[in-house]
A and B are shown apart, each in its own frame.
With several copies, the nearest count.
Chain A
Amino acid sequence: MANINFLLTEGPFQTEKWSTVSKLAAAALDKGHEVTMFCYLDGIYNGLSTQEFADWDKVPGDYFKELVDKGAEIVCCGICVNARGQQKGKYFFEGIKVGGIPDWAAFVGRADRVITL
């Protein structure tokens, strides 16, 4: 089994990167691989538990919540979180952590593969 690290630098809705990353990571977890993810820049908005969008059955955040439930380790860049007004991740899903680039560097150290999207 492999350890795969994802770097996600864009937020939900605006581009489809949240969708590709969350589905690819889910597939990796289902196959028994380890998944870590660092959310950098606008990527941190994916941690929010407060998304409401009636047009879709599931909001992007639901996919990230499911990754955490399946055992993924997700860390959001704290500098980015506070710069973007998200108050230390006050409204993030439980299990999505606020950390720093050292956490990302450690993920890369443990990773067999690194994917950026």
Chain B
Amino acid sequence: MALYLIDLPFAKIGLDTAKRDSDAKVVLVQDGVYADTSGLSDVYAVKEDVEKRGVASRLGGAKIIDYNELVDLIVENKVVNFA
């Protein structure tokens, strides 16, 4: 299982690569929460980043997680950095 850490500057290529990985989990961090994740199912977004930007309603089915939950995801999965 791989966890794709996605920020906005590399979002397009990062998400497109994640789509080629059937086990991909995606975490949107920082400006990454502005990215369009349509076509991906297992998506997470960092709470603090979502709240600052006021984009909760734009996130579709993404699960909002705090830093503690992000640490758990990092420990449980190989990390792929696009942030």
A and B touch in their complex, CB below 8 angstroms: yes
Report the bound CA distance from A113 to B74 in whole Å: 7
The interface centre, meaning the residue of B29, B46, B66 with most chain A CB atoms within 10 A of its CB, is: B29
Given A114-B79, A115-B5: A24 and B70 within 8 A (CB)? Answer: yes
Q: Please name all residues of chain B whose beta carbon is closer than 8 Å to the beta carbon of A117 when the two chains form the complex.
A: 5, 7, 29, 83
Report the bound CA distance from A16 to B8 in whole Å: 13
Report the bound CA distance from A2 to B77 in whole Å: 11
> Chain A 80-117, CB within 8 Å of chain B: the 1/0 string?
00000000000000000000000000000000111111
Contacting pair B30 A16 (CB below 8 A): yes
Residues of A within 8 A of B (CB-CB), count: 19
Report the bound CA distance from A19 to B30 in whole Å: 10
Given A4-B74, A16-B30: A113 and B79 within 8 A (CB)? Answer: yes
Neighbour of B71 across the interface among A17, A24, A112, A114, CB < 8 A: A24
Contacting pair A23 B75 (CB below 8 A): no
B30-60 with Cβ < 8 A to chain A: 30, 46, 48-49
Contacting pair B30 A112 (CB below 8 A): no
Q: Let me know if A33 is at the binding interface, CB within 8 A.
A: yes
Q: Please name all residues of chain A whose beta carbon is closer than 8 Å to the beta carbon of B49 when the two chains form the complex.
A: 20
Across the A-B interface, give the 3 residue pairs with the lowest CB-CB distance, nearest first: A27-B67, A116-B81, A2-B75
A sample of 27 inter-chain contacts (CB < 8 A) reads A2-B75, A4-B75, A17-B30, A20-B46, A23-B48, A23-B67, A24-B67, A24-B71, A27-B67, A27-B68, A27-B70, A28-B71, A28-B74, A31-B71, A31-B72, A33-B75, A112-B75, A113-B74, A113-B78, A113-B79, A114-B79, A115-B5, A115-B79, A116-B83, A117-B5, A117-B7, A117-B83
